[in-house]
Structure 1
Amino acid sequence: MNSDITLQDSFAARVRIAGRVRTTPIVFSPSLSEATGCDIRLKLEHTQITGSFKLRGATNAVLSLTEAERANGVVGVSTGNHGRGLAYAAKQAGVRCIICMSELVPQNKVEGIKAQGAEVRIVGRSQDDAQVEVDKLVAEGMVMLPPFDHRDIIAGQSTVALEMLEQTPDLETVLVPLSGGGLISGVAMVMKAVNPSIRVIGVSMERGAAMYESQQAGKPIFVEELSTLADSLGGGVGLDNQHTFAMTRDLVDEMILVTETEIAQAIRHAYWQERQVIEGSGSVGIAALLAGKIRNPGRCVSLISGQNIDMALHHRIISGEDVDVTAEG
């Protein structure tokens, strides 16, 4: 088992980021509880300051830097929630931050990251092109903080699990959105350290589920990124993955995939039944519950990971439109 990152790291991260991130609430869901015959609750992590859990890991990583590293600044490549979280965390800590992106990134995402105080560099037509600029800045002395496969990032994300255990001490099942594995690795590490009988289930989308496919293959593999309503769950796990592949393999009990239709239904449900605006990636746990894909959830918490959905798209989905992003993009 990968014991590289421990419960002690989680508690240390919690102390480090205290006062810089929100403790987010857990609420009981009458509608999901009725639908499943179990006690279903939602961890509203989408109400985090930058709209997703990513702020926890970014804040812990920035605050864990040495004085020399902080003086040199941080750099990352991101189109979304990690970029927002890293930009905000760096600004709060007084650390220079550059986020590198390709020309294909929508302008609203570029503006969103600039609004958090980061410098944005637009390079080339792909993430790979943007990464070349990151590598150049690292060679000049800046510190790269990646989205998920990093000790301090994982330890920071794991603090959400400490909150969940305090808010629901008799937890039996936890549903976690699964992408590169930074979130689920941290959550599963904490849960299994405290109570090994808690089931940790990763939920991803059918289209381009890189960690799921890599686990099936027994090693990190390249998985084509496809358009999906759960766009924040896209992207690979890294062929030279150092932490999250092994931690997911050793600590996660089950991985489940949901369809685009099920994701859209979950976004609708969250809005009309729970009064929550959530992005596709944050809805996958609800999607799995509504589709009957979670066996005997018992006392279950579904982690709602983010809210940064395009509001025009959200409006179309909740209005009942059959939105097919797979055809659009």
Structure 2
Amino acid sequence: MPQSEHGVTLASIYAARKRIAGQVTRTPLIRSVALSERFSAEVFLKLETCQPTGAFKLRGATNMIATLIERHGRDALAAGVTTASTGNHGRAVAYAASRLGVPATICLSTLVPANKVAAIEALGATVKRVGNSQDQAFEEVARLVAEASMTLIPPFDDPLIAAGQGTIGVELLEDQPDLDRVFVGLSGGGLLGGIGAALKGIHSRIQVTGISLSKGAAMWESLQAGHPVEVEEVESLGDSLGGGIGLDNRCTFALVREVMDDHFQVSEAAIAQAMVAMLADEKLLVEGAAAVGLAALEEHAIDIRGQKVALIVSGNGVSLETFDQARAIAQR
């Protein structure tokens, strides 16, 4: 599929890398002794948990805001940027905007706990509490864009967002040029699409494996259908991998279809067991979406013997309460 259909190129990823340098952490790639021994392979962990906001989302948000400043000047963003997110993306937009000197408004429903509101406000953003659902919060975002001239920073479906996430792929190959395979969580497609575009652009032989939830996997269902479709969102330990991709998806559907080589779906039990193993063996407390690479290896008995493999550990946005739930599931 031509790159023009999604707008993400290796050149745009390298441009993003230069643009976000100094604003975003170049995260470590560590060899896991335990996993390497368990799977008779060289298994590496890419620790996006080391970002200041605890997740990879900071890369894309920083790249998009910085690019808009470059192209249109800071005055074009005088009204501010906006989005609706209770998790990694909202924190990333708040942090990136603050670092780049741009006002940010994050729209949250009234159901969002006070501690999450305070965490986003602590990063310098204005929080607007609107409605009783995420959909109603997004309605307020649309109003701010239309009536207050704010600029939307989307969570995944934009070439600038995907290029920012793609800088992870460049770092992977700088640290381990002879990687054979990379396991990436698949949701809206910005992370997998960006990383895949970087890896394929540098070494096309590298296998890109996507992992989705067993239920509510919008991108995977859309790929099976041949066009974006809606799916019912379900509660999951890997909640960051839930949600739709947008029926009017203009970037990541085409990008993922181009760069992903294979795909696995993982159960709640497998995610829970992987979360517990990451803490026990790697001393890493991670969210469910960050553990799906290990979950897939275990649940599907994927043969990686003799290979060099990287797992993208995408974020640490998990509460102790949720981790306790995972531990209880893993012990059943």
Range with greater deviation from structure 2 (123-132 or 276-285): 123-132
CA distance in 2, matches of 1:15, 1:194: 17
CA distance in 2, matches of 1:98, 1:115: 13
Q: Letter of the 2:321 partner, please give it.
A: A
1:201 counterpart = 2:204: no
Who is 1:127 aligned against? 134
Q: State the shift of 1:216 in Å.
A: 1.1
Residue by residue over 1:265-318, the C-alpha shift from the partner in whole angstroms, topping out at 9 and shown as x without a partner, is 10111001011111101000011122244343621000000001012322454x
CA distance in 2, matches of 1:305, 1:47: 9
Who is 2:190 aligned against? 182
Range with greater deviation from structure 2 (125-134 or 52-61): 125-134
Contact persistence 1:2–1:246 (CA under 8 A): no
CA distance in 2, matches of 1:259, 1:316: 15
1:62 counterpart = 2:65: yes
Identity across matched positions, percent: 47
Contact persistence 1:220–1:238 (CA under 8 A): yes
CA distance in 2, matches of 1:316, 1:235: 21
Alignment of 1:255-274 (within 5 A): 255-274=263-282
CA distance in 1, matches of 2:225, 2:54: 33
Q: Letter of the 1:270 partner, please give it.
A: M
Contact persistence 2:189–2:253 (CA under 8 A): yes
Q: State the shift of 1:259 in Å.
A: 0.5
Who is 2:317 aligned against? 308
Contact persistence 1:158–1:190 (CA under 8 A): yes
CA distance in 2, matches of 1:232, 1:107: 20
Contact persistence 1:175–1:202 (CA under 8 A): yes
Q: State the shift of 1:69 in Å.
A: 2.5
1:49 counterpart = 2:45: no
Q: 1:160 aligns with which of 161, 168, 172?
A: 168
Range with greater deviation from structure 2 (70-79 or 270-279): 70-79
Contact persistence 2:223–2:253 (CA under 8 A): yes
CA distance in 2, matches of 1:106, 1:11: 38
Q: State the shift of 1:77 in Å.
A: 1.1
Q: Letter of the 1:215 partner, please give it.
A: L
Q: Secondary structure at the match of 2:78?
A: helix
Runs of 4+ in structure 1 off by over 3 angstroms are: none
Contact persistence 1:32–1:290 (CA under 8 A): no
CA distance in 2, matches of 1:177, 1:184: 7
Alignment of 1:1-329 (within 5 A): 1-3=1-3, 4-65=7-68, 66-67=72-73, 68-139=75-146, 140-296=148-304, 298-317=307-326, 320-322=327-329
Contact persistence 1:7–1:193 (CA under 8 A): yes
Q: Secondary structure at the match of 1:95?
A: coil
CA distance in 2, matches of 1:22, 1:181: 21
Contact persistence 1:55–1:85 (CA under 8 A): yes
Who is 1:327 aligned against? none
Q: Letter of the 1:218 partner, please give it.
A: G
Q: Secondary structure at the match of 2:127?
A: strand
Contact persistence 2:53–2:92 (CA under 8 A): yes
For the structure 1 residues 171 and 210, does the alpha-carbon distance in structure 2 shift closer, same or farther, using more than 3 Å as the test? Answer: same
Q: Secondary structure at the match of 1:262?
A: helix
Q: Secondary structure at the match of 1:321?
A: helix
Q: Letter of the 1:188 partner, please give it.
A: G
Residue by residue over 1:57-93, the C-alpha shift from the partner in whole angstroms, topping out at 9 and shown as x without a partner, is 0011111112233222101011210000000000111
Q: Letter of the 1:97 partner, please give it.
A: A
CA distance in 1, matches of 2:58, 2:301: 30
CA distance in 1, matches of 2:129, 2:302: 42
CA distance in 2, matches of 1:312, 1:79: 17
Q: Letter of the 1:199 partner, please give it.
A: Q
Range with greater deviation from structure 2 (203-212 or 191-200): 203-212
CA distance in 2, matches of 1:115, 1:94: 15
Count of matched residue pairs? 322
CA distance in 2, matches of 1:143, 1:6: 24
Range with greater deviation from structure 2 (290-299 or 24-33): 290-299
Residue by residue over 1:127-165, the C-alpha shift from the partner in whole angstroms, topping out at 9 and shown as x without a partner, is 221122111111121100100001111111111111001
Q: Secondary structure at the match of 1:50?
A: coil
Normalised by the length of structure 1, the TM-score is 0.95
Q: Can you give the 5+ residue segments of structure 1 that lack an aligned partner in the other structure?
A: 325-329
